[in-house]
């Protein structure tokens, strides 16, 4: 069973800042109305026993393996500015961390440590827990935490997706001595985003080794997912990342078996994915239709017909 750890020195009580305009309003409402959490309770998150932590790590599967190189890279980028990198599962359990010797004591006292449970239902608004609850990148700075006892922390987190489009966990950068203005937040969030995308790509390339991997354009905005599809030798789509599933209107984790170039309704999500796939292939082929057709496994006349149907892709092409 989880057991609490020693509290750090009491942080001076301060009035909570309004979260209006921070994007955390829904989290604060959940803490108040759904979880009935007392913001003044002086408690840190629970910590799992060693056996429970090992079980959680085993359940996470290969995420720890794929995340290893990115955790190391984040460590070298974050340590000089007083942040530590954490990897949590979908229950908010910290599975792994990279922390410098100078930060270890403080991280342990604040439960920024493997085994700590940062689920929003128990810890209130925080980087890991709220990222998992809302499945989006989150920055919770000092007084934006629901619990006043956590007002000395800053937590920045982004989702991590597996090869089937499911959220596998969250990458987090936390500091127990952040700058008052949180000026590094945007830069750290960008680093986490890139790391999460690299982990997802490692997941995807491993599961679909031997398949043709096609990108449906660059990642969109602050999405932690890269729009990727896996095609078999018959050019049927047999796998899709989280972002690709969103584009094609497919649910996460379900089996995928689609003919990439089959006829679809004009305004269907798959039509947009087809158009992006053809444009991406044409770009890879230097605009040469014959080369792109071979890459797609169709005839040149079929590709020309597809281009006429999909519209707007003929400009700048070479026969």
Contact yes or no for 244/216 (Cβ under 8 A) = yes
At 6 the pLDDT is: 42
Position with higher pLDDT, 155 vs 180: 155
Q: Where in the chain is the domain with CATH 3.30.450.40?
A: 25-197
Which segment, 59-63, 182-186, 255-259, is predicted with the most confidence on average? 59-63
* CA pseudo-torsion sign 19, 25, 27, 29: positive
Nearest to residue 98, comparing CAs of 123, 78, 80?
78
Structure tokens at 38: 């007392």
Q: How far apart are CA 290 and CA 301, in angstroms?
A: 9
Model pLDDT for residues 257-307, shown as the tens digit of each residue? 777 666 665 556 667 667 777 877 888 788 888 888 887 777 888 888 878
Q: What is the pTM of this model?
A: 0.82
Domain 25-197: give its CATH code: 3.30.450.40
Query: Does the structure show a pLDDT above 60 at 314?
Result: no
Q: How far apart are CA 293 and CA 282, in angstroms?
A: 9
Model pLDDT for residues 168-178, shown as the tens digit of each residue? 999 999 999 99
Query: Does the structure show a pLDDT above 70 at 85?
Result: yes
Q: Long-range CB contacts (< 8 A, 24+ apart) of 231-235?
A: 231/260, 234/297, 235/259, 235/260, 235/261, 235/296, 235/297, 235/298
Contact yes or no for 286/316 (Cβ under 8 A) = no
Q: Which residue has the tokens 């309004």?
A: 18
Query: Does the structure show a pLDDT above 70 at 11?
Result: no
Nearest to residue 216, comparing CAs of 290, 254, 269?
269
At 239 the pLDDT is: 93
């Amino acid at each position: 069973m989880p057991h609490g750890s020693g509290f750090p020195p009491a942080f001076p009580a301060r009035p909570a800042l309004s979260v209006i305009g921070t994007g955390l309003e829904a989290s604060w409402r959940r803490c108040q109305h759904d979880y009935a959490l007392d913001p003044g309770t002086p408690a840190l998150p629970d910590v799992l026993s060693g056996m429970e932590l090992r079980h959680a790590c085993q359940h996470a599967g290969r995420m720890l393996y794929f995340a290893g190189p990115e955790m190391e890279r984040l460590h070298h980028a974050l340590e000089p500015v007083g942040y530590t990198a954490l990897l949590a599962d979908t229950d908010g359990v910290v599975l792994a961390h990279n922390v410098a010797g100078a930060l270890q004591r403080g991280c342990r006292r604040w439960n920024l440590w493997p085994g700590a449970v940062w689920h929003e239902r128990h810890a209130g608004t925080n980087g890991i827990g709220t990222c998992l609850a809302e499945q989006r990148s989150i920055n919770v700075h000092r007084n934006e935490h629901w619990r006043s006892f956590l007002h000395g922390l800053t937590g920045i987190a982004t989702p991590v997706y597996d090869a089937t489009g499911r959220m596998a966990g969250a990458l987090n950068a936390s500091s127990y001595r952040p700058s008052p203005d949180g000026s590094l937040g945007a830069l750290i969030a960008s680093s986490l985003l890139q790391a999460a995308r690299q982990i997802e790509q490692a997941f995807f390339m491993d599961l679909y080794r031997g398949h043709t991997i096609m990108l449906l354009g660059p990642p969109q905005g602050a999405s932690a997912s890269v729009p990727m599809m896996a095609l078999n030798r018959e050019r049927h789509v047999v796998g899709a990342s989280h972002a690709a599933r969103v584009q094609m209107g497919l649910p996460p984790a379900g089996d995928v078996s689609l003919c990439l170039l089959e006829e679809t309704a004009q305004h269907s999500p798959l039509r947009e994915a087809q158009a992006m796939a053809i444009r991406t292939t044409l770009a890879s082929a230097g605009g040469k239709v014959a080369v792109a057709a071979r890459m797609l496994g169709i005839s040149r006349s079929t590709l020309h017909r597809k281009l006429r149907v999909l519209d707007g892709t003929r400009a700048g092409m070479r026969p």
